[in-house]
A and B are shown apart, each in its own frame.
Chain A
Amino acid sequence: GESVGLHLPTLSVQEGDNSIINCAYSNSASDYFIWYKQESGKGPQFIIDIRSNMDKRQGQRVTVLLNKTVKHLSLQIAATQPGDSAVYFCAAYDQAGTALIFGKGTTLSVSS
Chain B
Amino acid sequence: SAVISQKPSRDICQRGTSLTIQCQVDSQVTMMFWYRQQPGQSLTLIATANQGSEATYESGFVIDKFPISRPNLTFSTLTVSNMSPEDSSIYLCSVEPARTYGYTFGSGTRLTVV
Contact = CB atoms under 8 A, between A and B. Distances in A.
B102 A43 contact: no
Given A98-B31, A99-B48, A44 B43 contact: yes
A61 to B, nearest CB: 18
Contacts of B48: 98-99
A100 B105 contact: no
A91 interface: yes
Contacts of A43: 4, 92, 94, 105-108
Interface string A1-34: 0000000000000000000000000000000101
Interface string B82-114: 000000000010100001111111111010000
Interface of B: 1, 4, 31, 33, 35, 41-45, 48, 58, 92, 94, 99-108, 110
Interface of A: 32, 34, 36, 41-46, 49, 89, 91, 98-105
